[in-house]
A and B are shown apart, each in its own frame.
Chain A
Amino acid sequence: MTRRLLTGNAAAAWGARLAGVDYVPAFPITPQTEIIETLARWFDGGEMRGRLTMLESEHSMVTAAAAAAATGVRVFTATSSQGLLYAMEMIHAVPGWRVPFVLANVSRGLATPITLEPDHNDVLAARDSGFLQIHCASCQEVHDSVLIAYRLAEDARVRLPVIVNLDGFYLSFTREPVEVADPAAARAFLPPFTGRGIEFRASRPVSQAAAVLGGSQYSYFRYETHLAALQALPAYAEIAAAFAEAFGRHHPAVEAYRSDDAEFVFVMIGSFATKARDAVDRLREAGARVGLVRPRLLRPFPAADLRRHLLGKRGIAVIDQNLSFGKGGVLHAELASVLYGEPGAPLLASFIGGLGGRDFAPEEFYEMIDVTRRAADSGRAPEPRLLYTAGELREMRKLQAIAAVERHEDGAGKP
């Protein structure tokens, strides 16, 4: 097994190649474009068999992906940020079709203001859609997760589309050592998809996704989708175990890093979680009992695993790289909902950081543990904290001063 340096985008493309996908409907957007460029080159060069089609928008792209999946072929697609939002009508519609496919989302902060670098408000906008979500922290995980995602999506208990999420820039354009699976081993883990009853054909018309009225039948179908998503929890555990057996890398639904004997724990998702892992090592060197708990699965939400890892701890620093305006961090609220009322529920301290790719300094991780420790000592959860320094505000004030001068000059210049 040899390792090579690959970007997260290339790792995602390799996952799709090794999955032997038949069809890739595509539409480019920064920072995802490299995925479809790579796949297009492979289709063109004959390394991949099947078809890649450029659609006129992400809305059409997701529709095409699901429609193709309904014929029983294996489908891969990818987008990011505003593109995911443009497809949002279909993102919510197609899980109810109960057809499996995989979509790589390269996270990028949403407008406004428009930006390129990552946070998770884009993928969290799809949180309640019925797509399952796997969140990656390394390029190796991106490669592995695409293969795992197909097994999960196609599992008879599940049959739902899966989003594999990787952060723009910090994974998408970052090369790391990746062990690309041997094609035969990948095929053994993920045999060609045979449709298993999913076989829409023009010669045998089926009206899929019919209309219902009155709410009763609607409730049935919607709750069935929810139950299918919940069944993805045991299915995922089995598939991750099979993956570990085949490739020697274990990707549990929840990564628990040095958390068993920890008093205080970071909880976060995505690639910046590796920085938290680093902070855990440094804090341990300084004598603090600290760990990291990182959900890889966000949908379905691995509630039981999180309870198992977090109940009995003194305090949790929940780091949200997202912001629900008028509420706060999404992960914080989700975590509170699975811990509230449980015996041994730890104190939760909420931190908002990494918006639009804003960096985390190592000292900030250490400080978050200090804040959480003080809160646990006092028994009161602190106010949510935006990671934002006096130096950052000073720079902002400089820009605002320029804007004020512009406004003044603009106004003065008008009759």
Chain B
Amino acid sequence: MYRIRFHGRGGQGMKTASCILGDAFFAEGFEVQDAPRYGAERRGAPIFAYVRADRAAINERGIIARPDLVVVADDTLVTVPAAAVLQGVGARTVLLICSNDDAATWTARLKRDCRVLTLPAPAAPEAGQAQAGVGALCAGAAAALVGVIGRAALERAVAAELAAHGAPVVARNTAQALAAYDALAAHQGLVSAGGAVDAGARAPVDWIDLAAEDAAAAAPDIHATATSLKAATGLWRVMRPVIDHAHCHKCSWICSTLCPDSAIAVDADHAPRIDYDHCKGCLVCVAVCPSHAIRAIPERGAAGAVP
């Protein structure tokens, strides 16, 4: 059975990747199971999706503990513990990272005995354009690496999955998927199907007996105050709102009131200030500003652009 996980951030198209790859496997005659794990259910938050494919009916279920292939759409996730990108990655696993650092760098960094490949990170979008998804790219890369999915099946899967979004979206994503598929042509079939856990020779199970503990410790309480400040939800941002103070009319309430995360404060001089540690990049402020003084720029490489 092939066991494949896609890791990315909400909005990057990891569920789409799993659906495209699932469709393509299914079209090639495989039994398929694909599913997203939504995590925090927010744009920019870590998410993963997974695909199982086999020639026989699939009884395995739930998260993939021993992946044959892990595709990472966003290399900043590798160091986020909650993303669990490396969970179960072993010697037979192929790890494909979309990154501008090369495979040798990642191999040295991770010190894992898995095979590491990289694809160039997707280019930042033009100013004013939303970050395009990379789901089709990830699916195309995975389709090449398993080596049992034809170009035509991949193309049909992209079209089937994205048809509702219109022809231009299908065309753009088809090009993306096929480019990734072709870029990895030299590695066709590098990922092989893994086996089942043998019931005859297996690792011991380390179950323990839970002891009753004091209710003060055994109730799920958080005692520290203002803990939401400590969660750097700004890391979830894909697009960054930037205030052009020359155009801001200092109305002093619209963006700050409508920000769903209370991440816009107003100075004594009525100028709004965005708290980038906690702004999730929903862009509500961009939409509601009556003087069009807030624009959106891609987060990747945006650090220097902050006024």
Interface of B is mostly: loop
Are A283's CB and B199's CB within 8 A? Answer: yes
B203: CB under 8 A from chain A?
yes
A261: CB under 8 A from chain B?
no
Are B35's CB and A175's CB within 8 A? Answer: yes
> Given the complex, which residues of B lie within 8 Å of A386, measured CB to CB?
207, 210
Assembly CA distance A271 to B271 (angstroms): 54
Given A177-B32, A279-B199, A388:B210 Cβ within 8 A: yes
> Given the complex, which residues of A lie within 8 Å of B200, measured CB to CB?
285-287
Q: Which of A58-74 contact B (CB under 8 A)?
A: none
Residue of A nearest to B18 (CB): A175
Q: Which of B4-59 contact A (CB under 8 A)?
A: 19, 22-23, 26, 31-38, 41, 58-59
Given A282-B199, A389-B206, A5:B32 Cβ within 8 A: yes
Assembly CA distance A169 to B63 (angstroms): 10
Given A282-B197, A282-B199, A389-B206, A169:B35 Cβ within 8 A: yes
A174: CB under 8 A from chain B?
yes
> Given the complex, which residues of A lie within 8 Å of B23, measured CB to CB?
5
Residue of A nearest to B206 (CB): A390
Are A393's CB and B210's CB within 8 A? Answer: yes
Assembly CA distance A389 to B88 (angstroms): 17
B202 to chain A, nearest CB (A): 5
Interface centre among B41, B205, B208, B225 (most CB of A within 10 A): B205
Are B199's CB and A286's CB within 8 A? Answer: yes
> Given the complex, which residues of A lie within 8 Å of B22, measured CB to CB?
5, 175
Residue of A nearest to B33 (CB): A176
Residue of A nearest to B58 (CB): A176
Residue of B nearest to A276 (CB): B59
Residue of A nearest to B30 (CB): A177
Q: Give 20 A-B pairs besides A275-B61, A410-B225 with Cβ atoms closer than 8 angstroms.
A: A5-B34, A7-B35, A169-B37, A170-B62, A175-B22, A175-B35, A272-B61, A274-B59, A277-B59, A278-B196, A281-B59, A285-B198, A285-B200, A286-B200, A359-B65, A361-B197, A362-B202, A389-B208, A403-B222, A406-B223
* Residues in A lying within 8 Å of B, measured CB to CB: 5, 7, 30, 112-113, 116, 169-170, 173-177, 271-272, 274-275, 277-279, 281-283, 285-288, 357, 359-364, 366-367, 385-391, 393, 400, 403-404, 406-407, 409-410
A-B contact pairs, 15 of them (CB 8 A): A112-B220, A113-B220, A173-B35, A175-B35, A278-B60, A278-B196, A285-B198, A286-B199, A359-B65, A364-B205, A367-B207, A385-B207, A393-B208, A406-B223, A410-B224
